[in-house]
Amino acid sequence: MASNKLQITYRKPGRLLNPASGYLTGYTHTLNPYAGCAFACTYCYVRRLPVALFHQKEWGTWVDVKENAPHLLEKELRRAKQKGKVTIFMSSSTDPYQPLEVQTQLSRSLLEVMAKNKPDFLFVQTRSPLITRDIDLLLELKDRLCVSITIETDLEQVRKTLSPAAPPLAARMKTLARLKQAGLPAQAAISPLLPFSEQFPQLLKEVVDWVCLDDFFRGDGAQGKRTEKLGIKSLYQQLGYEDWYTPDKFTEVCALFQKVFDEHRVLISQQGFMPFGIG
């Protein structure tokens, strides 16, 4: 998708920290700096959620920027911590480091707030190399942090077909290496699992200490029904990977990764996205 087609709107949210539920029940709150996502992955489960369906524009063509977010987070975080532990998932329905973040620095400003008034745990989920810009702030949260980099495959043909606007795979591998070099706790999120080469597990072992595996049938929140409505199966057929679009393939893939990583370094589905999930 060309960047000049992206519709950007600035909105003042009623609140920034939202109660976590469902797949993220291990968290007290979710934190989404944006609504919408320019990466526009074809399989994104958010396409079937109200935030996307009610917007009435094609997913990936619009992004809402949440104004006054740092000030709002500062107040909400202080209140939340007075009530007990605060564990935050950033982000559940957008990518906090999508291209617009280069200009807005919104996610960075939220990290600055959390570095001063630390939550009990922060999970940062992204597929963008831009996160390395904020290594200085992430290091301040190091003891209560997990950075999760989505890298679903090592095959560029697959990436270009299913998520053409997402960052190239080589850049994401370099991002994982930089995070590891900085001493930050980071995982490779093979989520959702896409067709990959036999070398993929070994390639990841060189840049990360553990991985999280998830697929459409476990991770879309509806046993694969949301993904089915997006027509992803037909894209697999076009690529010649029909045998990968089955729940049984997940078991086979887990066994492959457990041959390369220690068994306790291969986290499954929800386990890999929970607070302190690395044990």
Question: What is the pLDDT at residue 278?
Answer: 37
Please give the Cα distance from 246 to 229 (Å, whole number).
Answer: 15
Question: What is the pLDDT at residue 224?
Answer: 57
As given in the structure block, the two tokens for residue 124 are 């940062």
- Among 158, 170, 142, residue whose Cα is nearest residue 239: 158
Q: Per residue of the chain (279 residues), what is the pLDDT tens digit?
A: 334 589 999 999 999 999 998 888 889 999 999 999 999 898 887 887 777 777 778 889 999 999 999 999 999 999 999 999 999 999 999 999 999 999 999 999 999 999 999 999 999 999 999 999 999 999 999 999 999 999 999 999 999 999 999 999 999 999 999 999 999 999 999 999 999 999 999 999 999 999 999 998 775 555 556 666 777 888 888 888 988 988 889 999 999 999 999 989 999 998 999 996 433
As given in the structure block, the two tokens for residue 240 are 């010649």
Is 137:111 a contact under the CB 8 Å cutoff?
Answer: yes
Question: What is the pLDDT at residue 21?
Answer: 86
Q: Which amino acid is at 254?
A: C
Question: What is the pLDDT at residue 227?
Answer: 65
Question: What is the pLDDT at residue 2?
Answer: 38
Read off the DSSP letter of residue 195: -
Q: Element (H or E) spanning 73, and its range?
A: helix 69-83
Please give the Cα distance from 110 to 123 (Å, whole number).
Answer: 13
Q: How many other C-beta atoms lie within 10 A of the C-beta of residue 72?
A: 19
Q: Is the peptide bond before 195 cis (omega within 30 degrees of 0)?
A: no
Q: Which amino acid is at 23?
A: Y
Q: Which amino acid is at 127?
A: R
Distance of CA 228 to the CA centre of its chain: 20
Q: Which amino acid is at 206?
A: E
Question: What is the pLDDT at residue 189?
Answer: 97
Q: How many other C-beta atoms lie within 10 A of the C-beta of residue 248?
A: 9
**Domain residue spans in the chain?**
3-273
Strand order across the 7-11 sheet: 7-11, 62-66, 34-35
What phi-psi label fits residue 231: left (phi over 0), alpha (psi between -120 and 50 degrees) or beta?
Answer: left
The CATH code for residues 3-273 is 3.80.30.30
